[in-house]
Structure 1
Amino acid sequence: MTPNEPDAAPAVSPASQTQRLVESRELFRGENEILISHGDAIYRMKITRQGKLILNK
């Protein structure tokens, strides 16, 4: 399917235009783990050896 076809999906959906994109490298700044404060709870986000993210309370 090419972009000129009438059935082609838009490159950017309307919902994504209002959402903020944050790069993980900006959050982690070279570290493999960060703590996130959310309300009264502290969460731990880690980058696994496979490059995936895990969030734990």
Structure 2
Amino acid sequence: MNKDQVKGRVKKAKGKVKKVTGKLVGSKGMEEQGKADETAGAVQAAFGDVKNKQKKGHQPQL
């Protein structure tokens, strides 16, 4: 596991918490920000997954 995988998964989890908190308190802005953080975390984790596979010698399939 590389740092992009870890940071991405942490960011995704924080985004989920922020999204749920925003929904509970009725803050549309916080909810949207949480969704954005969750998506950004998923993208960063996926990037880390690709880096990890490439480092191990796997070629990406198109």
Q: Which has the higher strand share?
A: 1
TM-score computed with the length of structure 2 as normaliser? 0.24
Greater Cα radius of gyration, structure 1 or 2: 1
Identify which of structures 1 and 2 has the higher relative contact order when contacts are C-alpha pairs closer than 8 Å and 6+ apart: 2
Structure (1 or 2) with the greater helix fraction: 2
